[in-house]
């Protein structure tokens, strides 16, 4: 175990700045000013809080020393909260022409204020992603425009009510996708637009038994999915909030290989703390080891799937004390692979070749302070020289003008802490690009 974690300082080359470090209504006002929108009412999302936004960095990102601004490239309003998303595995913007600033758009009335003028793209079929929304079918969404390319309903066979998956994952070929919901794994064929799942795999025999599942299978909401990197024959790992893991062959279309519970974090180690449900699953590049991240946990567990249910060790030093999903990312390198994880203290931590030792308990090899709030997502570019991080969480703002009658939450906060009446909570909701 390392006694001291070396600190590295990647250079931030692009950021969304302070635009989103405030309430939703204030964000919309700042965004309109940033994009040169003269009339706030022309914003298509002026009264909408369930919004999916994406940004595109400039081509000279690494060539100049100046700090670039990240602004929305396209905006997709949704009618209800988005449970999860999944970007198409072959997503590519290569072939896009130079996209001018929205302020330079020739005719502002014909172009939405939050959309850039798109001239052409070589293969627009790759620029799409899936969204799971409450009380709606699963949407195949265009990433460049607010257009829905297709819908895929997942309904209850008894009530015909829409089921919103809590996890969604593309197959390696991009011809199908897998969804996880309450005690159910569903496989959809992308070519069957408007149709339900091609396959349904209940994770327990029946919900009507006195003991759910009769002690057989994997009960609970399927909250995380991970696919080993084996084209066409990969193993699907499914994790639940009840701390169970199931392995399925043929990318979820095959038989159930094994089901096992997660050991209490800290068994065999004095540094761990038990988690409260699986939030992320990642495979090692060799397809032999599975990394398991949980909410309210201080460790990332490592399992050897060649012996299903055998815990190989743990990666310690990760802080995830809340119920918020804090993702992890496995990166292939010249020397093996690395595990990147964001933490709720704003730090990004990295473990190198985490499966090199048996029965291990590893401290991070690198770390740096990236944000002032929880790092919800960390992803490394395939080149290995660029890292993207995103921070943010649900906050309650305390305003001096608000009275106790405005909100029950504010009433409790104001009565519990008199000093907080003179303060206003600071948000850290930022997207950053780093050069390493």
The candidate with the shortest Cα–Cα distance to 116, out of 181, 62, 180, 71, is 71
* pLDDT the model gives residue 200: 94
- Domain that includes residue 419, residue range: 11-435
Residue 30 domain flag: yes
CATH number at residue 138: 2.130.10.10
* CA dihedral of 54, 60, 61, 67, whole degrees rounded to 10: -100
Q: What backbone torsions phi and psi does residue 376 show, to the nearest 5 degrees?
A: -75, -30
Contact 344, 319 (CB under 8 A): yes
pLDDT tens per residue across all 436 residues of the chain: 445 555 557 889 998 888 777 776 777 777 777 666 544 444 444 444 677 777 777 777 777 778 888 877 777 888 888 889 999 998 877 655 444 433 333 333 333 443 444 444 456 778 899 999 989 999 999 888 888 999 999 999 889 999 999 999 999 889 999 999 999 999 999 999 999 999 999 998 776 654 554 556 788 999 999 999 765 578 999 999 999 999 998 888 888 888 999 875 444 444 455 688 999 999 998 888 999 999 988 899 999 888 877 888 889 888 888 888 899 999 988 888 999 999 999 999 999 887 755 557 888 999 999 998 899 999 998 888 899 999 987 765 544 334 333 334 333 433 434 334 333 445 788 899 998 8
Residue 6 domain flag: no
Residue 79 domain flag: yes
List C-alpha distances in Å: 310 to 262, 372, 381: 9, 36, 31
The span from the CA of 94 to the CA of 90, in Å, is 11
Residue 177 domain flag: yes
Residue 4 domain flag: no
- Residue 7 DSSP one-character state: B
The candidate with the shortest Cα–Cα distance to 168, out of 229, 88, 286, 259, is 88
List C-alpha distances in Å: 147 to 127, 203, 304, 372, 376: 11, 34, 42, 35, 27
> Helix H segments across 143-282?
none
Element (H, E) at 386: strand 386-391
Q: What backbone torsions phi and psi does residue 312 show, to the nearest 5 degrees?
A: -80, -40
Residue 73 domain flag: yes
- Residue 413 DSSP one-character state: H
* pLDDT the model gives residue 31: 72
Residue 229 domain flag: yes
What is the tally of structural domains in the chain?
Answer: 1
Residue 188 domain flag: yes
């Amino acid at each position: 175990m390392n006694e001291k974690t070396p600190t590295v300082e990647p250079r931030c080359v692009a950021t969304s700045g302070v635009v989103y470090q405030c309430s939703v209504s204030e964000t919309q006002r700042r965004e309109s000013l940033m994009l040169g929108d003269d009339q706030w009412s022309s914003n298509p999302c002026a009264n909408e809080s369930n919004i999916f936004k994406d940004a595109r960095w400039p081509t000279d990102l690494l060539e100049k020393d100046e700090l670039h601004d990240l602004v929305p490239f396209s905006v997709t309003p949704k009618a209800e909260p988005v449970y999860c998303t999944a970007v198409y595995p072959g997503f590519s913007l290569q072939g896009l022409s130079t996209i001018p600033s929205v302020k330079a758009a020739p005719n502002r009335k014909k172009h939405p204020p939050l959309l850039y003028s798109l001239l052409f793209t070589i293969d627009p079929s790759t620029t799409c992603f899936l969204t799971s929304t409450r009380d709606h079918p699963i949407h195949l969404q265009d990433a460049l425009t607010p257009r829905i390319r297709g819908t895929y309903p997942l309904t209850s066979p008894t009530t015909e009510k829409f089921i919103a998956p809590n996890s969604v994952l593309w197959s390696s070929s991009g011809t199908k996708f897998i969804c996880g919901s309450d005690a159910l794994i569903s496989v959809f064929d992308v070519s069957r637009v408007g149709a339900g799942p091609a396959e349904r795999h209940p994770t327990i025999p029946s919900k009507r038994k006195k003991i759910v599942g009769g002690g057989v299978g994997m009960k609970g909401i399927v909250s995380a999915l991970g696919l080993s990197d084996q084209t066409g024959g990969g193993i699907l790992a499914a994790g639940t909030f009840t701390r169970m893991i199931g392995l399925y062959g043929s990318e979820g279309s095959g038989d159930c290989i094994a089901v096992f519970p997660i050991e209490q974090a800290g068994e065999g180690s004095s540094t761990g703390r038990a988690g409260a449900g699986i939030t992320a699953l990642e495979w090692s590049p060799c397809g032999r080891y599975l990394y398991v991240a949980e909410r309210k946990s201080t460790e990332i567990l490592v399992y050897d799937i060649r012996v299903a249910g055998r815990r190989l060790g743990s990666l310690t030093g990760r802080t995830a004390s809340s119920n918020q999903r804090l993702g992890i990312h496995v990166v292939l390198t010249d020397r093996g692979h690395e595990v990147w994880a964001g933490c709720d203290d704003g730090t990004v931590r990295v473990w190198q070749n985490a499966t090199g030792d048996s029965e291990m308990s590893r401290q991070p090899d690198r770390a740096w302070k990236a944000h002032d709030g929880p790092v919800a997502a960390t992803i490394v570019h395939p080149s290995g020289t660029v890292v993207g991080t995103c921070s943010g969480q649900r906050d309650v703002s305390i305003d001096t003008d608000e009275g106790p009658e405005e909100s029950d939450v504010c009433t409790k906060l104001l009565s519990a802490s008199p000093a907080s009446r003179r303060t206003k909570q600071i948000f850290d909701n930022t997207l950053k690009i780093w050069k390493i």
